[in-house]
Amino acid sequence: MSEKRKRATIREVAQATGLSPAAVSYALRGIQTSEETQERVRAAADELGYEAHPIARALASGRTDQVGLLCGSLEDYWQQSLAVGIGRALLARDRYALIVDAGGDPEREKALARRLRDQRVDGLIVQPLDPSAALWTELAGTVPVVSIGDALHGGQAQGEVVFDNRRGVTLALEHLRDLGHQRVTVFTSTRASTPDRPADVHVNAEAERLGLRVDVVVVPQSLAASTDVAMRVLGGADRPSAVFCFADSIAYGVYAATRELGLAVPGDVAVCGYDNHPMSALLTPPLTTVDWDIDGIVHSAVRLIVDVIDGKPRKRRVVREPSLRIRASTGDRPGTEPGDRPGAEPGDRPGDRPGAGPGAEPGVEPG
């Protein structure tokens, strides 16, 4: 069995090129040397099988090639998909994702954010549980930060991929109102300690405008916990005719509860989600949900953070516009005829509501 080849050293590359080790180091980093010298050094390094040691490279460049990804809760299936997409997209850009999970706890989120900063990640992508925390202003002064979902306190994030939550909430509630639903329970994972998230705030304003009775209930994002809460809400005689969930993963718990209670979807209760996870189209019945184009979110977030790290930011704010994917989980309020819906014709079936639509370019606001 042949002996494993020893890692080539920078001194060996220097001997092969007739340069000093310092000159070779500069050439490999593309600084203080001519392009001709850089090409000659890289060719010699490739021939010798030289690879810069990652720790030495980090010390020399001040970079680790790691980007922290701080997830609000990986019990949310959509956030799992987002983390997978961001990890792969960063790898394609020669970066590595260091993924951590706040587990739905704002205090844990703060501790993990500081830990990622102390580990000297090159940048941080965060799906904030508490976008109003003063911590984000502190972090933005020491590490590039890009937020997904909501803008961060202080407005000092180097990049934002924010959702037009006002439009998303309006699409869902108008759809339920048009189907004849007048009492809607909204399930949200937002805690009392983070009361100013735009989607939650807008629910009450839109409900008043549309003449809906809305009850907002805090629900954990795990399947078991969301099922338990849904059992309590739907198990009484005074249950709502529709449930609007601020995560498809919460809606899955509602489905589980309806099965346990012997309720039909949408005959007894209509269900609407909020992020169009791929599994949502496979449910029985398929889930009506708000679509934010997860591939577009991944592309925008990774481009923003890499541009900031490389010192060439082009824009700092991308606004994602929603579209409503209407499927069989929503229907008329029991006892409502199709012609009773505002603007409805007998026998009609509503289609997708206007929004950005699949593949649409995101809107951009000045930074």
Determine the Cα–Cα distance for residues 183 and 322; give it in Å rounded to an integer.
Answer: 23
At residue 41 the predicted structure's pLDDT band, cuts being 50, 70 and 90, is: confident
**Percent of the chain whose pLDDT exceeds 90:** 47
* Token pair listed for 345: 């014709």
362 touches 320 (CB < 8 A): yes
pLDDT tens digits, one per residue of 51-106: 665 545 544 545 678 999 999 999 999 999 999 999 999 999 889 999 999 998 88
pLDDT tens digits, one per residue of 239-292: 999 999 999 999 999 999 999 999 999 999 999 999 999 999 999 999 999 999
Q: Please check the confidence at residue 198 and state whether its pLDDT lies above 80.
A: no
pLDDT averaged over every residue in the chain: 82
pTM for this one? 0.71
